[in-house]
Structure 1
Amino acid sequence: MTLLYMAAGLFGLVLINVPIAVALGVVSVIAMLLSSGTATLPNMAMVLYDGATSFPLLAIPLFIFAGAIMNSAGISRRLIAFASALVGFVRGGLAMVNVATSLFFAEISGSAVADVAAIGSILIPAMKKRGYPATFAAAITSSAATLAVIIPPSIPMILYAVMSGSSVVQLFVAGIVPGLLGAAGLMGLAYGFAVRRNYPVEEMFRVSRVKETFREAVWAFSMPIIILGGIFGGWFTATEGAALAVVAALFLGTVVYRELDLPHLYDAILEGGIQTAVVMLLVATSALMGTYLTEQQVPQQLAQAVADFTNNKYVVLALLNVIFLLAGLFLHSAAAIILIVPIVMPLVNLVGIDPVHFGIIVTLNLGIGQQTPPVASVLVTACSIAKADIWAVSKVNVYFIGVLMAVLLLSTYVPIVPMGLVELFYR
């Protein structure tokens, strides 16, 4: 009943437009006061502070900042030029360029919103100019940007690792195969659309053009190789890798490409600061709720109640998939992870689900949630750039969401898909 009352209070506050982080704090403070009285007040400030000072969380603002810098430094444009030279000769090639570029950019930013803003602002107008419908351009850009939360480094994965006590590095490795499968599926579907609707071919394949654009983009390609290689090789942590990404982005923007000036740097700092503040406030207030729920043993009671119903982990996974898909309709990925993961982890452990495997499932679910209204933060950004109606875009995007759903089901019920590389290198 405690969880039900808190959920009702939280939902009621959100309905009257109270920010989720504030609503979390209000509900948690009231619950703690009712259960323990005013004597608990001095501890609340410490809980808030401790909740937001975890070392792995420092990677979030750093990766956001690195992505913002690289967008300002013209990296997106160079990646698009190379991808176009590589696959632009295929019918509907610009749609495939969209997916390929998102795949590259995802290895730097870790944020789907940053991905769609950076790639979409260049590619959506270009696709519309070449005769692609605005609805199709927005749909493929939006769904391709979801790769940013699957391919490492991923900000939702970092949050999940902190909330569940899992290995960030193993989560990053587990996301590689599902991310590549998602990219291949989106490209295949885009090609099918292009053939049926006679979308244009962008340019003839020329080796000289590939070499030229590769030379321009080679510095950008070196970043994920160095950063992810160092993280996977154990040379430095994900947080240290994020710091290196910022240093490398600054070097590329100011020394190599010379396109990063002070106004652009200021904008990147501002963007990173705003996104970080939103996430950290959520983390801090969720720590209050987590402390209260732990003291009341609510997660353990929930786990036992579900276990009494069924101890089949595949049935439990189906139930959890439904929960996270529904949560993705109404919550941003950070809020959903912070709210739900600490509550369901005892159940996950009880039925024998690997926490790293479960982390990939959570990430995929919430990536799909970024495409499904009413919240759909990534889809809304793409529609804004394309100047297209969100519901019209959704009618096209449902096919691309189907690809992401297929990857989710494959990753859920064929564990070797996400866990094969983890088992090979770390276990």
Structure 2
Amino acid sequence: MEPAAEAEAGISLRPWAAKADAFLGHLVEIPAAVLVIAEVVVLFAGVVSRYVFDRPLVWSDELASLCFLWLGLLGACVALRRGEHMRMTAMVTALPPRGRAFIEVLAIAASAAFLLLIVMPAYRFALNETFITTPALGISAAWRASALPVCAALMILIALVRLACVASTRQVVEAVALTLAIGAVLYLMKPVFADLGNINLVIFFVVLLAAAIFAGVPIAFAFGLGTFAYLALTTRVPMSIVVSRMDEGMSHLILLAVPLFVLLGYLIETTGMARAMVAFLAALVGHVRGGLSYVLLGAIFLVSGISGAKAADMAAVAPVLFPEMKARGAKPGELIALLSSSGAMSETIPPSLVLITIGSVTGVSIAALFTGGLLPALVLALALAGVAWWRSRGEDLSAVRRASAGEIARTFAIALPALILPFVIRFAVVEGIATATEVSTIGIVYSVLAGLLIYRRFEWHRLRAMLVGTASLSGAILFIIGAATAMAWALTQSGFSGQLASFMSTLPGGVASFMAMSIVVFVILGSVLEGIPAIVLFGPLLFPIAEAVGINDVHYAIVVILAMGIGLFAPPFGVGYYTACAIGRVNPDEGMRPIMGYLLALLIGVIVIAAVPWFSIGFL
């Protein structure tokens, strides 16, 4: 809840709650930060031992996986405490302050309700794992499985303390009462649900889920509530299945790359590497009309190849370029429009977290996705550059000085270590030096050394904030993947996936109509659910259909990711758009009209890529 809303509602922080909140903050943030460092050390040691000394550490992946689940779930605790779980707030922010304050409290209460529902099944799941011994470390699997019940309990405490911190007693009572009332009504309707068949899918996965999401309940918790309610009220499936499916979704080894690439994004910003790349590009083309727009697109293209996280990309580039672009007369709305659309353009540039996620849930080769994502992103970058060129025809360049050959050479020499990093990452994956999971550690070590030895810049005082921020974002992503995996399983068991497959496979027009519908579906899903939840939920359902109608899996993955990116950065619902506005410190209303031209260019570009598979698979 925003401080202004609290003030208008007459809410003041309770001293005991503030102290409890601070204690819980230290309790989850410190071990989460330590685990981020441990992941880097373990995985990098595995790379060095295998590739340099030819002596693989057979236990490194197992230890990294154990640490990762704890890291992700502690990160989910951090994200809940800091209000950083992915959620849709467009509807909530449109409410008056008093209504917004109540909805915020209701969202926390609903999140706590889901955690209360799974904490005991999670505990029983961990007890069952005590009888299993891990093959490499020889320890009980309960060490790993206990992360979910422990962190669920911690999140319940965090939610309760958060309610005490930001809400009045009346608001809490009203929110809890409404949550219990909804649950009671649904329970009393259980006999009715038994006769409704597949209509239950609409009730729980459309109506109930949409209501929760539009009310601002974090997406992961909304997924969990919808799945739990559907299974509990319409089937005889034991509720432990929700926990086991969540555990399965959060246990993919490839997901280890998520926190490490997020950390890498922080490092390139704090070491000055991103600034060096932007300075070189500005010296190269900054003097031409629309030159700084091209620099922004080029910088996002390069930085995306390092960090993998869109928020980190935009935060690294915008503060460097926006002041000069404004000095040349660019309007804030135009800047935000270009920044947002560049975020959508770069979704397939490796090592994008979405590429890693889609590979983990669909089985598509990560190396193939890394290779296939570059050229489609370039096509979209050229489309955006065309719009930028058209809009900059009247730009006044009378006060702009062209950089000399010496200045260009000097900025290139400074930027060279940073420019090399994306190629190092891709080379290491393609040549088999490191997996997509391990290669991020090479980038982290390289960035730290470059910052210390070449750029002589490393802000040590920001290290804890970077580590905690890494854990928070990773935890938010991991919890969504776990909840979406459980939901996807429930949809599959209901027969929905089979019906969807039958419907999609019988569409007139074959491949063309299936691809067109996929683009429309993922633009909508990207807007409503954000990127990763949409991919995790619908990827396993639609990819087999795409394969059945003869579409290459890499090509299909690239198309749906780009379509999802358009929705993610398209107002009024796209969360990515509001992230760009926050980074650029621009009112969202100012970018609504300018972004439409860029979104149209992106949509045309996606249609071209969908129609010409060579862009995605020509270099495989």
Q: TM-score range by the shorter chain?
A: over 0.9
Amino acid at match of 1:51: G
Does structure 1 residue 55 correspond to structure 2 residue 253? yes
When residues 54 and 393 of structure 1 are mapped into structure 2, their CA distance, relative to the original with a 3 A threshold, is same
Contact 2:332 2:590 survives alignment (8 Å)? no
How do 1:296-335 and structure 2 match up within 5 A?
296-310=494-508, 312-335=510-533
Secondary structure at 2:298's aligned position in 1? helix
Query: In structure 1, how many angstroms separate the alpha carbons of the residues matched to 2:232 and 2:438?
Result: 39
Contact 1:169 1:231 survives alignment (8 Å)? yes
Query: In structure 2, how many angstroms separate the alpha carbons of the residues matched to 1:200 and 1:375?
Result: 39
How do 1:400-419 and structure 2 match up within 5 A?
400-419=598-617
Query: In structure 1, how many angstroms separate the alpha carbons of the residues matched to 2:235 and 2:507?
Result: 32
Query: In structure 2, how many angstroms separate the alpha carbons of the residues matched to 1:279 and 1:59?
Result: 12
How do 1:121-132 and structure 2 match up within 5 A?
121-132=319-330
Q: Deviation string for 1:301-359 (max 9, x for gaps)?
A: 21112323436011111111111111222221112112222232332233222221111
Q: Deviation string for 1:126-170 (max 9, x for gaps)?
A: 211232211222222222233431211111111111121111111
The partner residue of 1:375 within 573, 576, 588 is 573
Amino acid at match of 1:357: H
Q: Deviation string for 1:247-297 (max 9, x for gaps)?
A: 222222233223213222222212211111110000111121122223333
Query: In structure 1, how many angstroms separate the alpha carbons of the residues matched to 2:375 and 2:351?
Result: 14
Amino acid at match of 1:14: I
Aligned to 1:114: 312
Aligned to 1:167: 365
Aligned to 1:153: 351
Contact 1:92 1:200 survives alignment (8 Å)? no
Aligned to 2:295: 97
Higher alpha-carbon deviation: 146-155 or 58-67: 146-155
The partner residue of 2:386 within 181, 188, 191 is 188
Query: In structure 1, how many angstroms separate the alpha carbons of the residues matched to 2:234 and 2:450?
Result: 54
Aligned to 2:214: 15
Q: CA deviation at 1:388?
A: 3.2
Higher alpha-carbon deviation: 102-111 or 386-395: 386-395
Between Structure 1 and Structure 2, whose CA radius of gyration is higher?
A: 2
When residues 205 and 255 of structure 1 are mapped into structure 2, their CA distance, relative to the original with a 3 A threshold, is closer
Contact 1:231 1:238 survives alignment (8 Å)? yes
Q: CA deviation at 1:360?
A: 0.4
Does structure 1 residue 350 correspond to structure 2 residue 518? no
When residues 414 and 395 of structure 1 are mapped into structure 2, their CA distance, relative to the original with a 3 A threshold, is same
Q: Deviation string for 1:166-225 (max 9, x for gaps)?
A: 111111111111111222222232222222344667431421111111111111112111
Contact 1:93 1:202 survives alignment (8 Å)? no
How do 1:268-283 and structure 2 match up within 5 A?
268-283=466-481
Is there any run of 5+ residues in structure 1 with no aligned partner, and where? Answer: 423-427
Query: In structure 2, how many angstroms separate the alpha carbons of the residues matched to 1:364 and 1:201?
Result: 38
Amino acid at match of 1:48: M
Secondary structure at 1:195's aligned position in 2? coil
Query: In structure 1, how many angstroms separate the alpha carbons of the residues matched to 2:487 and 2:577?
Result: 30
Aligned to 2:229: 30
The partner residue of 2:262 within 39, 64, 78 is 64
Query: In structure 2, how many angstroms separate the alpha carbons of the residues matched to 1:183 and 1:172?
Result: 17
Secondary structure at 1:239's aligned position in 2? coil
State the aligned residue count: 421
Percent identity, please: 28
Higher alpha-carbon deviation: 367-376 or 271-280: 367-376
Query: In structure 1, how many angstroms separate the alpha carbons of the residues matched to 2:398 and 2:218?
Result: 44
When residues 307 and 201 of structure 1 are mapped into structure 2, their CA distance, relative to the original with a 3 A threshold, is farther
Amino acid at match of 1:162: S
Secondary structure at 2:216's aligned position in 1? coil
Does structure 1 residue 384 correspond to structure 2 residue 384? no
Higher alpha-carbon deviation: 14-23 or 374-383: 374-383
Higher alpha-carbon deviation: 373-382 or 319-328: 373-382
Amino acid at match of 2:221: V
Query: In structure 1, how many angstroms separate the alpha carbons of the residues matched to 2:379 and 2:297?
Result: 12
| Structure 1 vs Structure 2 CA RMSD | 1.9
Query: In structure 2, how many angstroms separate the alpha carbons of the residues matched to 1:306 and 1:47?
Result: 26
Query: In structure 1, how many angstroms separate the alpha carbons of the residues matched to 2:300 and 2:507?
Result: 42
Contact 2:555 2:616 survives alignment (8 Å)? yes
Amino acid at match of 1:238: A
Secondary structure at 1:40's aligned position in 2? coil
Query: In structure 2, how many angstroms separate the alpha carbons of the residues matched to 1:305 and 1:213?
Result: 56
Contact 2:505 2:545 survives alignment (8 Å)? yes
Contact 1:125 1:386 survives alignment (8 Å)? no
User: TM-score by structure 1 length?
Assistant: 0.93
When residues 306 and 93 of structure 1 are mapped into structure 2, their CA distance, relative to the original with a 3 A threshold, is closer
The partner residue of 1:397 within 595, 598, 601 is 595
Aligned to 1:243: 441
Higher alpha-carbon deviation: 412-421 or 136-145: 136-145
Amino acid at match of 2:518: L
Amino acid at match of 1:111: A
Query: In structure 1, how many angstroms separate the alpha carbons of the residues matched to 2:416 and 2:424?
Result: 12
Aligned to 1:229: 427
Query: In structure 2, how many angstroms separate the alpha carbons of the residues matched to 1:32 and 1:382?
Result: 38
Higher alpha-carbon deviation: 276-285 or 389-398: 389-398
Secondary structure at 2:217's aligned position in 1? coil
Report which structure shows greater RCO (CA 8 Å, sep ≥6). 1
Aligned to 2:273: 75
User: TM-score by structure 2 length?
Assistant: 0.65
Does structure 1 residue 255 correspond to structure 2 residue 478? no
Aligned to 1:425: none
Secondary structure at 2:330's aligned position in 1? coil
Q: CA deviation at 1:67?
A: 0.6
The partner residue of 1:3 within 182, 190, 201 is 201
Aligned to 2:136: none
Is there any run of 5+ residues in structure 2 with no aligned partner, and where? Answer: 1-197
Query: In structure 1, how many angstroms separate the alpha carbons of the residues matched to 2:400 and 2:261?
Result: 32
Query: In structure 2, how many angstroms separate the alpha carbons of the residues matched to 1:284 and 1:325?
Result: 22
Q: Deviation string for 1:349-396 (max 9, x for gaps)?
A: 332222211110111112212321123233223323444332331211
Query: In structure 1, how many angstroms separate the alpha carbons of the residues matched to 2:506 and 2:389?
Result: 48
When residues 106 and 201 of structure 1 are mapped into structure 2, their CA distance, relative to the original with a 3 A threshold, is farther
Contact 1:152 1:175 survives alignment (8 Å)? yes
Query: In structure 2, how many angstroms separate the alpha carbons of the residues matched to 1:397 and 1:360?
Result: 22
Amino acid at match of 1:232: V
Higher alpha-carbon deviation: 197-206 or 126-135: 197-206
Amino acid at match of 2:387: L
Aligned to 2:178: none
Aligned to 1:204: 402
